[in-house]
Structure formats: structure tokens, C-alpha cells
Chain A
Amino acid sequence: MPPLVEFRAVTFAIDGHVILNAFNLSIEPGETLVLLGRSGSGKTTVLRLINGLLFPTRGAVFVEGRPTTEWDPIRLKRRIGYAIQDIGLFPHFTVGANVGLVPRLEGWPPERIGARVDELLRLFELAPSEFVTRYPRQLSGGQKQRVGIARALAADPDLLLLDEPFGALDPVTRVEAQRQFRNLASSLHKTTVFVTHDVREALLLGTRIVLMRGGEIDTDVAAGAFRNAGTSEAQAFLSCLEP
């Protein structure tokens, strides 16, 4: 199968400041690719280039074989589920309306949207009868984050982009969320690109780990092989695992 997403010699710069430098990456269908790296290493920029929130300064990003610049920008975004780092739930929409947003924009009939919302909330262990009519301000941090991922999944996209989805959670909730996500990922069969700066999370959730450093790829290995990676940046991240 051809790669779902392919970066070919992508450079991205803002005001002469280079964020990604001659970046090459192929994302294969079905994998959970973790983009690991320090703050400012360009991880979020990679996600934003995939769904057309940004376009390359040089080079091209191909999604399903077509450069993002040739996609209808709205079609492209609706085909991809994206949970941004700050979640960004609509405060004036109920949980149900938040999760059902993309299906509604896509013109699904209301019964089908309702059924899909219920299905997703149940999947994330949020009882529909209790949560559908709640507003985001009535949710805990962990619940908000789950609603954010449910919203990204709503229109059943083939590709899911998750930007530090568990970043704002307390350590205990975080571990629970990671475990839940791992069980979920194996049953959903989605291609997922997952951004984190937590090496533990990368090893737990990824099938492949791409370690970024200063806008370039430092290490690109199967998750199981990451512990043997030899670069100094990989060693720096692995040293976080020692108590």
C-alpha cells in the first residue's frame, strides 16, 4: 500500500526562521507513529502541515498521494481527525454538539449524528445520558480531553492527529488515559500520528517512534527498537526513564 502521508524534502520557515529543514517522512496505513521531541523541535508543525493549516515553504506534503496544496482545504481537514493541544472545545456547544460537529458540517442526518455521538461517548466511558447535554465548563480536565479526541474521531477519519492529548492531565489520570487509549487504538485500526515529549508515553503507545531535533529527524525506528537507539538525543530521552 502507498503511504497515507508523505513529506518530501519539506522545509517550513516563518520570517526566515527555519522550523522544519528538508524533512522526509512516510506514514504507513495502520501505524501509530509517535513524534517525540523537545518543545520547539517542530512536532506540532508536522501535524499542521498534514491537515493543511500550514503549507510547506519548499517541498511538498502528500496526503493519499496528492499534495496538500492541491486539496480543497476544507475537504482535507474534514477527512482528518485533529485534536489540538489545547483541546479547544466550543464553550457554547454541549458535549453532544461538540462531538457531532464534523458530522453535522458534513450533512449527516440528525439520527445518525446522535447515534454516532452516543457510540463515541460510550467508547470513552462517558455515559451519554449524563454527558450529551453538558457544557465543556462542567467537565473535568480528563473528561474534556476525552471529548476532544471523540470529536476528532466523529466523522470516522482514516487518519488521526493527536497533539499531546494527555499533556494537561495529572499523572494518575494520565496513566489511566494512556492505558485506555492503547486499548482503543488496537480496536480502532486508525492511522495515528501522536505528538508527545514524554518518552514513556511514546514507548507505551507507539508502533513507531520518530525522534525530532531542531526540525530534523534524529531517530526513526520501530517502538521496540528505540531503547537501542544510539544518538545522543535518544540517549537524553531514554535517560528520563531511569528513576
Chain B
Amino acid sequence: MWEEIGRLTLEHLVMTLIAIVSATAIGLPAGVLVAHQRAYRPWLVGFASVMQTIPSLALFGFLIPVPFIGGIGKRTAIIALVLYALLPILRSTLAGIQSIDGAVLESARAMGMSTAQMIREVELPLASRSILSGIRIAAVTTIGTATIAAAIGAGGLGTLVFRGLATVDTQQILAGAVPAALLALLTEGGLEWVERRVGSR
């Protein structure tokens, strides 16, 4: 039993980590893009918002018949988790950049910074706290949503929850739910600590 919990926790963690890293790799540049290109904003933010409104079980279900990215298993689950995590990361990046004092951006431009230099040296550092809080929210919700991914055979702690539900075995349900909750709390606390460190610079 303990051995299984340990293995599934690790599986859960790896799945979440891959999803969050991928969602950040997509959402952060997309946030920077929509901060600069107003025209793309409704499209990208709209897409991410719509993804978030689809119930997770339904989204996992929808993806199964899709060619190349669909099917049963981890890959499909991770794709669904990435789609969920996009919105908080995209939003927080955009909000972080929008909250920068206009005078700072104007002086950066007036001194002859290129767009790339402005993004790297001014916008990302000043938006870092907001971006990190978006990643934290995405990570915590992804840990929760990932339990449901077991429904399409992705493994993780949801495996115990679903098995417990099917056999009406409360102990089994708790064996999946408690570690998942602990994982979420630890992630929350850890990323909050990182945020404070970054913010106090």
C-alpha cells in the first residue's frame, strides 16, 4: 500500500511538473505577445478562457478521439492539464506587464532600448512577481485536476481515488486524496516562499 502511494505520488508530481513547465513555456511568451500586440489579445485570452470553462472530465473525454494528441493515457492527460494551466499564466503575465508604471516604459523607450531589451530588462523583472503567482495558482489547480486524469488511464493519485469509488472503499479514496491535498499545500507554500523572495528584492 505505502509503496503504491509513493509510486503514484511521484507519477502525479511528474505529470504536474511536465504540464506546468509546458504551460509556462507557452503561456509566458503568449502573455508578453498580447501585452505588446493588442490585436491578438481577445483571441488568445479568449481561447485560454474557454478552455478553462470546460469541465475537466469532459475535456479529458473530448481529447480521447482527437488524432495525434488524443488517445488513452498520460500524453492526453498532460495536454488537457496544459490547456487548463494556460489561462492563469497568460493572464498574470499580461497583468504584470500592464501594471508597470508607464513612465518607466516611456523612459526605457526614450533611452533607446530595443523591444527585446525592454522585455528582458524591464518588463519581465517587474512582472516577475505577478507571473510567479500565476504559475503558483496554475500548479495548485493542476495538482487537483490531475487526480481526474486517472479516469483516462493517466495514472497518478487519482488511480486510488477512482478505485476506491468503484469499490466503495473509503480508505482507498483517502489514500489518494490525502497525499494529493498535501502535495497541493506544499506546492502552494513553496512557491509562495519563492514569490516573497523575488518580491523583496
Contact = CB atoms under 8 A, between A and B. Distances in A.
Contacts of B125: 92
Interface string B83-111: 00000000000000000011111111111
A224 B106 CA distance: 34
Given A77-B111, A102-B112, A90 B106 contact: no
Contacts of A73: 112
Contacts of B126: 91-92
Nearest to A73: B112
A87 interface: yes
Interface residues of A, number: 23
Interface residues of B, number: 19
A48 B3 CA distance: 68
A158 to B, nearest CB: 15
Contacts of A78: 111-112
Interface of B: 101-114, 117, 122, 125-126, 201
Contacts, number: 59
B111 A105 contact: yes
Interface of A: 51, 53, 73-78, 82, 84-92, 101-102, 105, 148, 151
A102 B111 CA distance: 7
Contact of B103 (A88, A92, A151): A88
Contact of B107 (A75, A88, A92): A88
Contact of A90 (B108, B109, B110, B112): B108
A75 B114 CA distance: 10
